Structure 1
Amino acid sequence: MKLFEKITNPREIRRKLGLNQQEFWSRIGVTQSGGSRYESGRNMPKPVRELLRLVHVEQIDLSKVRREDFEIVEYLKETHPDLYKSLRKAVRAKMEAQEGSSEATAS
């Protein structure tokens, strides 16, 4: 999913995760009633949509992300682009392997 891509059905995402509205929306700082309005078709602001994507689609725990982490990534990209690409490739391979093993376990 691309940055700020339109999320057309937050209710579907919530249901796939098995969360009630309170659990789902509170993780991104939205009240249950506000989330209900978004699920009913009200236009979702870009910041809310992006938080929903990061937390519920990408499964990123925002409580663990620090500004320093982004600065380190940018520094690594600028000063050691080959190492950055190598690390990125290794992380993607690890994620694909985990997805494959979790799909095999679910079968």
Structure 2
Amino acid sequence: MKSTDKIDVREIRRKLGMNQQQFWSKLGVTQSGGSRYESGRNMPRPVQHLLRLVHVEQIDIQKIKKEDWEVIEYLKSKKPDLFKELKKEARAAKKG
């Protein structure tokens, strides 16, 4: 999701079967703030990124720890082959 992409946040929320309070609270946004975004007000880039992570990628951001992120970044930069292998294995494990 690029900042230039026009997204229909209301449609995403409805497809997930959530009310505004449920949907926006997972991002740390108030219901009234979320309502404004759904009505067309510009959404700040950090909120767009959180929306993608939480509601599109289905990542529970409350479970992410700084050290987990550091390990990921280390693997990606210093051991890219191992990162790719682990990523592939994780996907396979999730599927079956």
With 2-11 and 47-56 compared, the bigger mean Cα shift is at 2-11
1:76–1:84 CA contact under 8 A, matched in 2: yes
| Structure 2 match to 1:83 | 82
Q: Percent identity?
A: 62
Distance 1:48 1:58, change over 3 A: same
Instruction: Please report the TM-score for the alignment, with normalisation by the length of structure 2.
Output: 0.86
> Which runs of 5 or more structure 2 residues have no equivalent in the other structure?
none
Aligned length in residues: 96
> Which runs of 5 or more structure 1 residues have no equivalent in the other structure?
99-107
Separation in 1, partners of 2:81, 2:11: 39
1:55–1:61 CA contact under 8 A, matched in 2: yes
Instruction: Please report the TM-score for the alignment, with normalisation by the length of structure 1.
Output: 0.78
Distance 1:94 1:5, change over 3 A: farther
Let me know the Cα RMSD of the aligned residues.
1.9
| Structure 2 match to 1:53 | 52
1:21–1:35 CA contact under 8 A, matched in 2: yes
Q: Moved runs in structure 1, 4+ residues, more than 6 A?
A: none
